[in-house]
Amino acid sequence: MHTMSMMPFSMIFMWILMIAFVYLIIKAIKQDNNPASSSAIDIAKCRFANGEITQEELKAIKKEL
């Protein structure tokens, strides 16, 4: 009879472990999808290098930031 009284607690503990495991998996997946953050200046420089913006636009962006 003693083992039967422990059953609800072991079930609750199992559910807590499963929820924590799923939470950690979701958190890891979300972190992998985040691109490396770049500063606004770095992004503007890349856009200038790709020809997306002109030198004057780059200077204006730098002045604002």
17-37: string of b/e by CB count within 10 Å (b at 16+)?
Answer: eeeeeeeeeeeeeeeeeeeee
Residues of the chain with pLDDT under 70: 1-4, 6, 32-37
Give the angle 13-27-37 at the CA atoms, nearest 5°.
160
pTM of the model: 0.44
| Residue extents of the structural domains in the chain | 1-34, 36-65
pLDDT number for residue 33: 58
**Span 27-43, pLDDT tens digits:** 888 876 555 557 888 88
